[in-house]
Chains A and B, each alone.
Chain A
Amino acid sequence: MKKEWPLWEIFIRSKSGLNHKHVGSLHAADAEMAIENARDLYTRRNEGVSIWVVESKHITASDPDDSDPLFEPARDKVYRHPTFYTVPDEVSHM
């Protein structure tokens, strides 16, 4: 019977005002230990002010094979971007 500590994905907020960002993974028996291990592994050099841990098995990722139907349709919707619209130079602050 093999029972090693499960894998956790680690997200760190590097400073207030920024999003948590995925930094890697580690092994831990439970969530508390995952946070402590993450603190020791991923914030040794002052890299964080907040940590999220999620057991890897709970993450669902999109399939790269679906990337066309998922992401392609957004590509030609240029009207969502401000550069699509022409505003005369005389009109400022827009």
Chain B
Amino acid sequence: MIKYLLQLADNALILGHRLGEWCGHAPEMELDIALTNIALDLTGQARSLYQRVAELEGLGKDEDDYAYLRDAWEFRNALLVEQPNGDFAHTLFRQFVFDAYNYHLHQALTHSKDEWLAGFAAKSLKEITYHLRFSSEWMLRLGDGTELSNAKLKAAIEDLWGYSGELATPNDVEKELAQQGIIPDLNLLKPAIEAKMSEVFVAANVGVAAGMFMHIGGKDGRHSEHLGFILSEMQFLQRAYPGLEW
């Protein structure tokens, strides 16, 4: 259970971190505010999840110990969320893939046998529903907009598609929890996620080549090179001046 909660928390933390990198640099000022809002939602979710992990572990750790004092191999986020922002099409497509998965996941998690998790999911679902609406609409804007934006979106899909499969491919932790009825069977969620994605793809006039290789490993701590750099920036103060209150 703890491993799974860390998976959820790390996804939210790392994606929120990436979105925070946009702050002050977005394509339009209104988008600065929108992206920051999503970053705030995700970072807030990560915080609740780490607090829950601390409670379950009972080792006297706090939320920041998990975010700031673990090394890359202990992080359990999917590879997708640590991918660099790239241009706005990359950021947006990464967000859309994550939101489509996250929305269906949290919808199912509201029925979890674990009361805390069900409550957390119900609360987060409201935020995630909005995220999916935002990213779906922007998929259409970029896909349907101009020739240039369509080409950029296609390039982003090409670059990131290989990281889109991991989210809904169950690892051992997820298989076990699914059997216990604590989380949904991801294989059963897949059709709904794929339906949403293809609906948006068609409307956005983009597609993907069939049979592209799908990378996995992030959820079990095997990451891309990017995560180490994220952590060295994020954890700098906590590492340089250990044990202080900020």
**A touching B, CB within 8 angstroms:** yes
Contacting pair A40 B37 (CB below 8 A): yes
Q: Interface residue count for B (Cβ, 8 Å)? A: 9
A27 adjacent to chain B (CB < 8 Å): yes
B134 adjacent to chain A (CB < 8 Å): yes
Scan residues 83-135 of chain B and give those whose CB is less than 8 A from a CB of chain A. Answer: 133-134
Q: Given contacts A27-B30, A37-B34, list 5 more A-B pairs with CB under 8 A.
A: A29-B141, A36-B34, A37-B33, A41-B30, A44-B37
Contacting pair B34 A40 (CB below 8 A): yes
Contact with B along A48-62 (1 / 0, CB 8 A): 000000000000000
Contacting pair A27 B37 (CB below 8 A): no
B28 adjacent to chain A (CB < 8 Å): yes
Chain A, interface size: which category? 10 to 19
- A-B pairs with lowest CB-CB distance, top 8: A37-B30, A40-B33, A40-B34, A40-B37, A41-B33, A32-B137, A26-B30, A27-B30
Name 17 interchain pairs, CB-CB below 8 A, sorted by A.
Answer: A5-B28, A26-B30, A27-B28, A27-B30, A29-B141, A32-B137, A33-B30, A33-B137, A36-B34, A36-B134, A36-B137, A37-B30, A37-B34, A40-B33, A40-B34, A40-B37, A41-B33
Smallest Cβ distance from B189 to chain A, in angstroms? 27
Residues of A contacting B141 with CB < 8 Å?
29
Q: Which residues of A contact B (CB under 8 A)?
A: 5, 26-29, 32-33, 36-37, 40-41, 44
Residues of A contacting B28 with CB < 8 Å?
5, 27
Q: How many angstroms from the CA of A29 to the CA of B133 in the assembled complex?
A: 16
Scan residues 16-39 of chain B and give those whose CB is less than 8 A from a CB of chain A. Answer: 28, 30, 33-34, 37
Number of CB contacts from chain A to chain B under 8 A: 23
Smallest Cβ distance from B146 to chain A, in angstroms? 11
Smallest Cβ distance from A23 to chain B, in angstroms? 15
* Nearest chain A residue, comparing its CB with the CB of B32: A40
CB < 8 Å neighbour of A40 from B30, B133, B137: B30
Smallest Cβ distance from B166 to chain A, in angstroms? 29
Scan residues 137-167 of chain B and give those whose CB is less than 8 A from a CB of chain A. Answer: 137, 141
Residues of A contacting B30 with CB < 8 Å?
26-28, 33, 37, 40-41
Smallest Cβ distance from B29 to chain A, in angstroms? 8
Smallest Cβ distance from B132 to chain A, in angstroms? 13
* Nearest chain A residue, comparing its CB with the CB of B33: A40
* Nearest chain B residue, comparing its CB with the CB of A37: B30
Residues of A contacting B137 with CB < 8 Å?
32-33, 36
Q: How many angstroms from the CA of A40 to the CA of B32 in the assembled complex?
A: 10
